[in-house]
Structure 1
């Protein structure tokens, strides 16, 4: 991942497509989601759960097709 000063995020993948995102003005400060931190003390038996959600702060700008190398190959002799 590479975060640029212009507000873009470039994500390069080893085995998938590469993506370029732009930071959106919604920073998530006004939602009703509870905040969690590893610095918060926990009582014994307490756990935190969260529900994953779709991206809200990033907008997909461009997608580059993967040029990943071939990692495995099998050649068959169809002539014989």
Structure 2
């Protein structure tokens, strides 16, 4: 199950997929089910160029830590991520 939650942790959308479906593959479809949020908090699994581009195009702030494969980490709002 892949889900989006609001600022209070309440689920607002979800999609059921087979267990081997990566989170970053489902993210665009999930975002299509809700009005555009101001920002998207995600773990390192969402650190792909495709997701970052999608968020930029939709004017959504990416609050996603860089994965270890990035040679130059992308800055993010650590305070928002910790919440």
Do they fold alike, i.e. is TM over 0.5? no
Q: Compare the two structures and name the one with the higher helix fraction.
A: 2
Task: Kindly indicate whether structure 1 or structure 2 has the higher relative contact order, using CA contacts under 8 Å at least 6 residues apart.
Answer: 1
Q: Highest CA radius of gyration, 1 or 2?
A: 1
TM-score, normalised via structure 2 length: 0.20
